[in-house]
Amino acid sequence: MDRLPALADDLVALHPSAIVAATVLEAMAAKHATTTIPIIMAQLIDPVGSGLVDSYARPGGNVTGRTISGSVAPKMRLL
């Protein structure tokens, strides 16, 4: 996990069209590495609370994707 920032920098240097992140740590590393390449979250929990997006209604920045929300019966929301 401590290598994620360097790996994200290496990935950004390849100029991909988009980056898919499966965990909050991966998404955070990618977010710190680029503000222009789209970062797609894969069903993360609480992207607002973790600081990945500003809000569900207006995520802002270059992070988007799907999130799992709800405490008892999670439901999928598309940002």
pLDDT (tens digit, 9 = 90+) per residue, 30-63? 999 999 999 998 877 888 888 888 888 888 899 9
Domain ranges across the chain: 4-78
Distance CA 17, CA 3 (A): 22
Q: 64-79, pLDDT tens digit by residue?
A: 887 776 433 334 444 4
> What pLDDT, on a 0 to 100 scale, did the predictor assign at position 69?
60
The domain 4-78 is classified under which CATH number: 3.40.190.290, 3.40.50.2300, 3.40.718.10, 2.40.420.20?
3.40.50.2300
Between the alpha carbon of residue 66 and those of residues 19, 50, 53, 57, 72, the distances in Å are 14, 14, 12, 13, 18
Average pLDDT over residues 6-21: 97
Distance CA 78, CA 34 (A): 22
Tokens of 58: 């207006």
